[in-house]
């Protein structure tokens, strides 16, 4: 029986399965443990089940001498120092696939919401601004029959493409068969939806030059990682009208401070990273994270072992 540390309570019965085979130390608070609190839990911990909000860096890994398995409840591992993990031969698992369709649903919901100005319309009703029908009030943009550019045609990007075809949208994408150059995609798309992992190569992939390359009537959608977009450039683009609007489920940092300048930009929707937030999907993620941890501790191949892109 190994000792496992779990950084947050998880939905469903996955932790019960883990506790049936190993000793579980569960972080009791709603907010994540600080780095110093994580280090204090090192002791004889052999298995770690963490979330994307937990920074698992080289210093922390060095403080856990018996650690041999990390299971990250996330679609990526940009919160983990993968090089330090590899140097210690620590098994590293993650939870892709099970959240693909749910996250794609949200990405498309953001396309509709920002194009049709749903937050403004919803706010107008309780504010008493709903007056007799006005043909010029709260005009948005059509989604049906327009062009969507998908940056990163992986699992989630492909799922968004399937939804877009239901709206008879032209689908452009980077990479793979039939892919186009990023500059071409940006210039032609009415909606640009980001679905790339966060790596050194993709950090600030969308910065001022890319935002200026988009149509002034286009919208940027980000359900990938906040670091893929240069937020200062996005704020300026919205304030100066380089693009029509943006809708993001991810920011850098997370959570974004309430006084962050980006939140004051016009024509912007910001969600608190809820791409996978349905009961069924979060339970599937928890099950897969526990399956990864159980397999790693038993010396078996993980169902989903992380391999750097």
Where does 100-270 sit in CATH, by number? 3.40.50.720
pLDDT (average), residues 219-239? 98
Q: Are 216 and 96 in contact (CB under 8 A)?
A: no
Find the catalytic residue in 225, 282, 284, 304: 225
The answer to whether 3-98+279-297 and 100-270 have equal CATH topology is yes
Residue with tokens 């498309």: 108
pLDDT in tens, 107-146: 999 999 999 999 999 999 999 999 898 999 999 999 999 9
Whether the full predicted model's pTM is greater than 0.85, yes or no, is: yes
The token pair at 51 is 């979330």
pLDDT in tens, 235-277: 999 999 999 999 999 999 999 999 999 999 999 999 999 999 9
Give the model's confidence band at 308: pLDDT under 50 very low, under 70 low, under 90 confident, else very high. confident
| The pLDDT value given to residue 300 | 97
Q: Quick one: pLDDT band at residue 2, thresholds 50, 70, 90?
A: very high
pLDDT for position 39 = 86
Q: Is the pLDDT of residue 298 over 90?
A: yes
Q: Confidence band (pLDDT; 50, 70, 90) for 296?
A: very high
Residue found under tokens 């059509």: 142
Q: Which candidate in 195, 273, 282, 284 is catalytic?
A: 273
- 145-188 tens-digit pLDDT: 999 999 999 999 999 999 999 999 999 999 888 999 999 999 99
- Parse the chain into domains and list their residue ranges: 3-98+279-297, 100-270
Residue 35: its pLDDT value, please?
87
Q: Output the pLDDT for position 46.
A: 97
Spatial CA neighbour of 91 closest among 301, 308, 252: 301
The CATH topology of domain 3-98+279-297 is Rossmann fold (3.40.50)
11 pLDDT above the threshold of 90: yes
273 included as an active-site residue: yes
**Cα–Cα distance measured from residue 250 to residue 269, given in angstroms and rounded to the nearest whole number:** 11
Please state, in angstroms and rounded to a whole number, the distance separating the CA atoms of residues 26 and 41. 10
Cβ-proximal residues to 145 (8 Å cutoff; 6+ apart), any chain: 167, 168, 169
* Residue range 18-69, pLDDT digits in tens: 999 999 999 999 889 998 898 888 778 999 999 999 999 999 999 999 999 9
Selected catalytic residue, list 59, 129, 254, 305 = 254
Average pLDDT of span 6-28: 97
Q: Which residues contact 203 (CB under 8 A, 6 or more apart)?
A: 227, 228
Could you tell me the end-to-end alpha-carbon distance of the chain, in angstroms, rounded to an integer?
Answer: 33
């Amino acid at each position: 029986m190994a000792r496992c540390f779990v950084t947050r309570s998880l939905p469903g019965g996955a932790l019960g399965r883990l506790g049936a085979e190993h000793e579980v130390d569960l972080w009791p608070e709603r907010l994540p443990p600080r780095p110093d609190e994580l280090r204090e839990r090192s002791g004889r911990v052999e298995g770690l089940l963490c979330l994307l909000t937990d920074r698992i860096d080289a210093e922390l890994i060095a403080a856990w001498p018996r650690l041999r398995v990390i299971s990250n409840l996330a679609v990526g591992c940009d919160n983990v120092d993968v090089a330090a993990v590899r140097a210690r031969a620590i098994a590293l698992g993650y939870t892709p696939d099970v959240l693909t369709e749910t996250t794609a649903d949200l990405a498309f919901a953001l396309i509709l919401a920002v194009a049709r100005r749903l937050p403004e319309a919803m706010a107008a009703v309780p504010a008493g601004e709903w007056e007799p029908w006005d043909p010029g009030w709260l005009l948005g943009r059509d989604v049906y029959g327009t062009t969507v550019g998908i940056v990163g045609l992986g699992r989630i990007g492909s799922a968004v493409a399937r939804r877009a075809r239901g709206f008879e949208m032209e689908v452009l994408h980077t990479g793979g068969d039939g892919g186009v150059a990023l500059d071409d995609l940006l210039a032609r798309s009415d909606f640009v939806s980001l679905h790339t992992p966060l790596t050194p190569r993709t950090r600030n992939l969308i910065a001022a030059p890319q935002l200026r390359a988009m149509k002034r009537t286009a919208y940027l959608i980000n359900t990938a990682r906040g670091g893929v977009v240069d937020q200062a450039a996005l704020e300026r683009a919205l304030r100066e009208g380089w693009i029509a609007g943006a809708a993001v489920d991810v920011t850098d940092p997370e959570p974004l401070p309430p006084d962050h300048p980006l939140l004051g930009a016009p024509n912007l929707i910001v969600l608190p990273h809820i791409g996978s937030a349905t009961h069924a999907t979060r339970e599937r993620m928890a099950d897969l994270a526990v399956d990864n941890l159980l397999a790693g501790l038993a010396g078996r191949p993980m169902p989903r072992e992380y391999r750097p892109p």
